[in-house]
Structure 1
Amino acid sequence: MTTTSPSRAPRRDAAENRAALLSAAKVVLNRDPSAPLEAIAAEAGLSRRSVYGHFATRDDLLLELVMSGTRRIADALARVTHPDPLTRLALIATNLWREVESVRVMAVVAIRGPLAAHTAAALDPIRMSVREAIRDGQAGGTMRQDISAERLARLVEHSALGVLEESAGHPLGVREGHQLVMLMALGAVGLGWHDAERFITGQPELQWKDGE
């Protein structure tokens, strides 16, 4: 009688090496998106050959890194909620910033680069949350109504990505980015910058907290 053995979990050292490679890739590729596998392996304290025991190509490693990061971001933002649509939209924007600001260059690569289609699919839940906030805001009269919710959601997304791209190329402090990404999102849905600043100041949930 033949029995089927349960699949074995990877050896601990193999699992640790894979995790080390992904962590190293996040650091190295955030400094230089074109860095070769040798640089990633060196950062992880491993040989180039050992990389191929986990990833057949550099693109395979990059795909896993991007998709794991995107899923983490989507999971974090799925918990963002607020009854007021403007506050909800601002919270989505600033929570997105908080999740990606430490890997700004990699985030731009993930969204604008060759893996954009994979990233887009994983970020669909966030886009849906933005559209819902905008529809609620339009229905309540707090967001502009001369543009469809679908188009306005794309404009909000582009404004947030604009902040990310600007911060990847030019110095932008974490706290400054926290404020700017909300201002840009609220501006896209119809608030003037004075009104957006006053709105943010008046919402305790939107205030910067030391230690974030």
Structure 2
Amino acid sequence: MPSTASPAPRPRRADAERSRAAVLDAATALLAERPDAGMRDIAAAAGVTRQTVYAHFASRDALVGAVTERVTGEAVAAMDEAGLEEGPAAEALTRLQDIGWRLFRRNPVVIQAGTDPVRGGSSETLHEPVDARLTRLVERGQRDGEFDPAPPAAWLVAVVTALGHAAGHEVAAGRMSADEGAAALRTATLRALGAPPPVPGDAPSPS
């Protein structure tokens, strides 16, 4: 009896893959400089027609989502290289947040997409890798006596995430500078976790 299974999808042509990559590269670079850039601007930066951009991404939101996914992947890779399992949990958490702020400064469109400088993604799928790392950090800090052991770790992660949203939106709205937002987030986070506040001048710059 002949098989009724659907044939495997044909691989995307190499030129189409290159074209999509060029669009995504151009969008990532251009949206970092001009978060309000439109599809026509992105097409021009990529050296393709607007129709070509739409052939790869059905809408601007879809393209921004792809940029956000790429940036999130880069952030997660940077977090894995930052030694979050090493040293005091509070210091590791500061390193994690500094990575988020560097991401924010280079890619403000991520904030406009409804994300924040701590979590970095606009969907639960994108949030998960960062949330997992943040949860491990909080649990380690609680075990080691650095953070308040009473609240569930999931609650503390939710609080830290909400603080990241608040700080990111204040900076995006122009009510705080990036440095002010980073410092406020760091202090508020440590207070929420029941850890001592940072000593002025000891915290690294998010630049």
Please give the TM-score of this superposition, normalised by the length of structure 1: 0.72
Cα shift readout 1:70-91 (whole Å, capped 9, x = no counterpart): 2111221122322311111121
Number of aligned residues: 192
1:110 is displaced (CA, Å) by 4.5
Contact 2:20/2:56 (<8 A) preserved: yes
Cα shift readout 1:97-121 (whole Å, capped 9, x = no counterpart): 1122222242341528xxx986322
Relative to structure 1, the CA distance from residue 23 to residue 87 in structure 2 (aligned partners, 3 Å threshold; closer, same or farther) is: same
1:168 is displaced (CA, Å) by 0.9
Q: Residue 124 of structure 2 corresponds to which residue in structure 1? A: 120
Contact 1:24/1:43 (<8 A) preserved: yes
Pick aligned residue for 1:25 from 19, 24, 27: 27
Letter paired with 2:204: Q
Uncovered stretches (5+) of structure 1, i.e. residues with no partner? 1-5
Contact 1:86/1:186 (<8 A) preserved: yes
Relative to structure 1, the CA distance from residue 86 to residue 41 in structure 2 (aligned partners, 3 Å threshold; closer, same or farther) is: same
CA distance in 2 between partners of 1:43 and 1:126 (Å): 31
Relative to structure 1, the CA distance from residue 181 to residue 161 in structure 2 (aligned partners, 3 Å threshold; closer, same or farther) is: same
Letter paired with 1:163: A
Percent of pairs with identical residues: 22
User: Is 1:104 paired with 2:104?
Assistant: no
CA distance in 2 between partners of 1:118 and 1:108 (Å): 10
Q: Residue 168 of structure 2 corresponds to which residue in structure 1? A: 164
Q: Residue 61 of structure 1 corresponds to which residue in structure 2? A: 63
Letter paired with 1:198: V
Relative to structure 1, the CA distance from residue 111 to residue 140 in structure 2 (aligned partners, 3 Å threshold; closer, same or farther) is: same
Q: Residue 7 of structure 2 corresponds to which residue in structure 1? A: none
CA distance in 2 between partners of 1:168 and 1:136 (Å): 32
Q: Residue 187 of structure 1 corresponds to which residue in structure 2? A: 191
Cα shift readout 1:152-197 (whole Å, capped 9, x = no counterpart): 1110111122111111111644444443332232122124xxx413
Q: Residue 137 of structure 1 corresponds to which residue in structure 2? A: 141
Letter paired with 2:63: L
Letter paired with 1:207: P
CA distance in 2 between partners of 1:135 and 1:199 (Å): 26
Relative to structure 1, the CA distance from residue 36 to residue 108 in structure 2 (aligned partners, 3 Å threshold; closer, same or farther) is: closer
Cα shift readout 1:36-81 (whole Å, capped 9, x = no counterpart): 4223324444332232343344343233222112211122112232
Deviates more, 1:159-168 or 1:43-52: 43-52
Deviates more, 1:145-154 or 1:122-131: 122-131
Please give the TM-score of this superposition, normalised by the length of structure 2: 0.74
Aligned positions of 1:69-108 closer than 5 A: 69-80=71-82, 81=84, 82-108=86-112
